[in-house]
Structures are given as structure tokens and as C-alpha cells.
Amino acid sequence: MRKIFAIAAILCGLTMSCSVFAEEGIKTLVKGDMTVQQGGASLFIEGYAMVQKGKANFTRGSFIMETTLKEPSFCILTTTDPIVKGFYVYLKPGDDLSVSVKDNQVVFSGKGSELNQFYVTLSRKYDFKNKQYTAKEAYINRVKAINASAIDEVKNSKAVLLGFTQGEYLNAVYGPYMEEKLSGVADAINKPRFDDLNLQLVPEVVQYYNWYRTINEMMYAKMETGQLKVRNSNTWLADFAGTIDNQKLREAYIVQLTDLAFMDNDFIKIKDIAKAALPLLKDPASIAKINGILARVDQQTLLNKALPGTDFGSYSFQKPDGTTAKISDYKGKYILIDIWSTWCHPCVAEMPFLKKLENDMLGKDVVFLSLNGDIKEEYWQDFMKKRNLTGNQVKMPKGLAEDPFFNQIGRTGIPRFVIIDREGKMVNAKCCERPSNPILKVYLNELLSK
């Protein structure tokens, strides 16, 4: 829970008084009596982004924080108290939860206290970062304790607690790995070994903020061990979802991943992927959500100048020795273009995966072209030497901001992956399967077989 302590750190500079984050919902209170006189507390809900739900300063060691909730939610409560650093609390609309410290332990009282006392105590006893237990052992112990609890609040919310702790379990396994894929601090990234690939996923796992990303990582692991077969690059979502037994979770997963693909501007393949997954949906509301997302795709203009079939053969880039490389130079082969910059940590994180993919596809008619977007050439040259980058390394002479190629494919964030066909024509200007995603290899092999 590194992010919790990072959030707690920003509270040290709080100067605001207790504030109400007004929105539609029912008033909910979180109060505290801390061991320090000055400081602050804050409440967050995780999702695509961290949303702050409340903030308060200490008044002689105490605070009252008011928020509104439409539905029960797991929130992160952080304070500048050295004991009450940060943890998850489960809040229901109308709760009046108080937090204090006794004998260096967090103690809850008020409405909603029994469930939170149970879960915080349980999660600290079986902490996923405690080397006394493996992640699987900590998870099993938590599940046993939740199922055995005689506390009414716990029994009434048992399914939610089991789902959330499953989300924490998957995050404990895959979270550090996913962070490494964003940080780009290492030359090689070690994938976690996960021996619980047949874990029975429960629908309440959606209570955990990154549930769909960790499930994806589990699906990738199943692919790599041969437990899961993907028919083609358009059926991966249907094939992944088909392994989820619970229909409610299956539908939530399909809707979430389709929405994520839209947010990632995956406008070239999203319709085919959704079409393959639609037969798995039964709930009219889920079907309507998918159709609503696809209707929005038709309104997008980002890739209008780089639609499949657009000729890109005339574009040229700078080689490390100062000479020029044209896309037309690679005629007869498919080209996977990796657009990156030295300051882009996720770009750097994909490099080991890109190198492996390139090695796996040696001898095939595909060129891997690494296209740098730095403004200053020396940044690029120094980085290539530092990381010993080989292969087809080229640069946008004027950087991302002024490059005509980047302008025509639609300016977005990087890393960005582009696929050009044997004739120098566009196949996919925004390929959202990165080298760390095994579906990219499936996709490339499909194209090569044409």
C-alpha cells in the first residue's frame, strides 16, 4: 500500500479547515482523536483516478470530516498521525465512524465501527507484505477469518469483504509488477510467479480499484502457461471473459475492458473485440453500455488522418549516425513502430518486453523500429549508450512536438505503438497491445500470415 503513505505525506502541509465535498448522496462522518495536536486527515476513493472525498485539519488533536456517499464504498483514510498513517475503511452512507488510538493500536467506535475494527485488525495481522506468510497464505487466513466471524456487521457484508480481500490478494501478487511496468527503473522486469491461476473469482472483487487490471495479468499468465487459448487478436476479451464463471463478474469485466479500450483510443480494433464478446452478455443494461461505447467510437476523429490503408511510405527519420531511414526502406515487411522518449518511464519499461518479442520473432517478415521523440539528440544518444540499445533505432528530427509523422497519426501520450504493412500503409495507428501484453504477438503473427 505504498500509495497510501504517499498520500499521507501530502497531508503534512494541510492548512484548510474541515471541508465538505458537496455532491449528491447521504451525509457520512469520519471523526478522529489523534496522538498529535497538529496535522490533517483526508479521505479518498480509488478508481481510474484517486478522488478526494474529504479533508480536515486537526483541532487540538481532533478532526471531524464530512462527506457524502451514494453507496457503500471502501475508502482510504490517511492522517499525519504516526500511528494512524493510512488504511482502508468501509463506509456506508450515513455512517458516523470515529477513530482513536489506544495502546498504539487503532480503535474504532460509532456507526460502522465493528466491521472496520474487524477488517483493519485482520488486514494488519495477515498483511500481504508480512514475510511470515506468502500472499496466498495471508489470503487464505483472511478468508477463513471472514467466513468464521460471528459479528453481525461482518456477516451482513461478508461477500463484500471476501471480494475486497481477493482484490487485495491479486494486487499483492501483481501490483508491484504493474508498477514496474510504469516506472521503467530496471533493465529487466521479473514477472511474479503465481500458482493460484485457478482462483475462483467472486463478483465483489470489483470493490477493489484495479481489479480488472490484475485479472488481466492473471489471464496473461494463464496464456503463457498454456491454460488459456486465445483464438485470435479480436477474441481475446471474449476468451478471457469466458473463463470467468460468475456471470455478473463476467459482464462487469467485459464492460470495464471495453470502456478502458475506448479511453485508450483503441478505435481500430475495439468494434471487432466488442462484437466477439457481446454474445457472452445477458443483461440488457450491459449490452446497452457496450453499444453506447461503440456509438461514441463513431464520433472520434483522432485517427482520421491515419486510417487503415493510408500511405506512410514517404516518412523518414534520423538514424544514430545521422543518415536517414524511410518507412519505404522496409518495404516487403511489416513494421512495428515503438514511439518513446527518454523521459517516459512506461516507454522505458516496455523495452525489455520489446526486445524479447523481437527475439521471439527473428526470421519473420517484421521490423521493430524504435522511434525516439526527444527534442535534443544528445538525450537520445546518451540513453542508447547507457541502456546498450541495439536494433533499428531512429529519431524524429524535431521531436514529438513538431514531427509530421506524429502529427498525422494523431498526437496522444506515449508509449505509442503503430503497425505499418508491407507496402508502407497504415494498419493500426494506435495499437493498444503493448509488448508486455502477449496478445501483441498473436496480432503480429496474424498479420504475417495474410
The CATH number given to whatever domain includes residue 376 is 3.40.30.10
**Sign of the CA dihedral with 371 first, then 374, 378, and 380 last:** negative
Q: Is residue 66 domain-shared with residue 182, that is, in the same domain?
A: no
Is residue 175 situated within a structural domain?
A: yes
Instruction: Give the model confidence (pLDDT) of 276-322 as tens digits.
Output: 999 999 999 999 999 999 999 999 999 999 999 999 999 999 999 99
Q: Is residue 291 domain-shared with residue 317, that is, in the same domain?
A: no
Q: Is residue 51 domain-shared with residue 107, that is, in the same domain?
A: yes
pLDDT above 80 for 20: no
pLDDT at 23: 53
**% the chain with pLDDT above 70:** 94
Q: Is residue 334 domain-shared with residue 443, that is, in the same domain?
A: yes
CA dist 389 and 34 (Å) reads 52
pLDDT above 70 for 13: no
Is residue 118 situated within a structural domain?
A: no
C-beta separation of 38 from 58 below 8 A: yes
CA dist 7 and 58 (Å) reads 17
Beta strands in 9-103 (DSSP E): 26-33, 40-45, 51-57, 62-69, 73-79, 86-91, 96-102
Give the phi and the psi of residue 206 in degrees, each rounded to 5.
Answer: -65, -10
Q: Is residue 271 domain-shared with residue 317, that is, in the same domain?
A: no
pLDDT above 50 for 22: no
Q: Is residue 240 domain-shared with residue 224, that is, in the same domain?
A: no
Is residue 422 situated within a structural domain?
A: yes
Tell me the HSE value of 317 on the side-chain side, using a 13 A CA sphere. Answer: 27
Of 254, 269, 300, which residue constitutes the final position of a domain? 300
Q: Is residue 316 domain-shared with residue 443, that is, in the same domain?
A: yes
pLDDT at 16: 34
CA dist 348 and 339 (Å) reads 11
- The grid cell for 366 is 517484421
C-beta separation of 207 from 168 below 8 A: no
Of 250, 278, 300, which residue constitutes the final position of a domain? 300
pLDDT at 197: 95
Instruction: Give the model confidence (pLDDT) of 258-271 as tens digits.
Output: 999 999 999 999 99
Q: Is residue 311 domain-shared with residue 391, that is, in the same domain?
A: yes
- The grid cell for 338 is 515503438
Instruction: Give the model confidence (pLDDT) of 132-168 as tens digits.
Output: 999 999 999 999 999 999 999 999 999 999 999 999 9
What CATH number is attached to the domain comprising 83?
2.60.40
Of 185, 205, 228, which residue constitutes the final position of a domain? 228
Q: Is residue 311 domain-shared with residue 438, that is, in the same domain?
A: yes
pLDDT at 184: 79
Instruction: Give the model confidence (pLDDT) of 326-348 as tens digits.
Output: 999 999 999 999 999 999 999 99
Report the candidate in 103, 71, 88 with the shortest Cα–Cα distance to residue 30.
88
Count the residues in the chain. Answer: 450
pLDDT at 450: 86
CA dist 171 and 202 (Å) reads 15
Position of cell 546498450?
388
Pairing mode of beta strands 392-395, 366-372: parallel
- The grid cell for 203 is 463478483
- Enumerate the H helices of 242-336 as residue ranges: 247-263, 270-277, 284-297
- Tell me whether residue 297 is exposed, middle or buried, using C-beta atoms within 10 angstroms of its C-beta: 0 to 12, 13 to 18, 19 or more: middle
Is residue 120 situated within a structural domain?
A: no
Q: List the strands of the sheet with 334-340, edge to edge.
A: 324-326, 316-318, 392-395, 366-372, 334-340, 416-420, 426-431
CA dist 225 and 228 (Å) reads 8
**Sign of the CA dihedral with 113 first, then 115, 116, and 122 last:** positive
- Domain total in the chain: 4
Q: Is residue 323 domain-shared with residue 200, that is, in the same domain?
A: no
Q: Is residue 422 domain-shared with residue 411, that is, in the same domain?
A: yes
Instruction: Give the model confidence (pLDDT) of 402-435 as tens digits.
Output: 999 999 999 999 999 999 999 999 999 999 999 9
CA dist 357 and 81 (Å) reads 48
- Residue 222: domain span: 126-228
Coil, helix or strand for 288?
A: helix
Count of CB atoms situated within 10 Å of the CB of 9: 13
Please state, rounded to an integer, the average pLDDT across all residues of the chain. Answer: 92
Is residue 168 situated within a structural domain?
A: yes
Q: Is residue 309 domain-shared with residue 440, that is, in the same domain?
A: yes
Give the phi and the psi of residue 207 in degrees, each rounded to 5.
Answer: -65, -25
Is residue 188 situated within a structural domain?
A: yes
pLDDT at 186: 67
What Cα–Cα distance (Å) separates residue 324 from each residue in 314, 319, 329?
A: 12, 6, 10
Q: Compute CA 339 distance to the chain's CA centroid, rounded to the nearest angstrom.
A: 20
Is residue 121 situated within a structural domain?
A: no
Q: What value does the mean pLDDT take over residues 15-33?
A: 67
pLDDT above 60 for 110: yes
pLDDT at 15: 33
Is residue 119 situated within a structural domain?
A: no
What Cα–Cα distance (Å) separates residue 73 from each residue in 25, 159, 204, 232?
A: 12, 13, 12, 37
Instruction: Give the model confidence (pLDDT) of 196-241 as tens digits.
Output: 999 999 999 999 999 999 999 999 999 999 999 999 999 999 999 9
C-beta separation of 335 from 327 below 8 A: yes
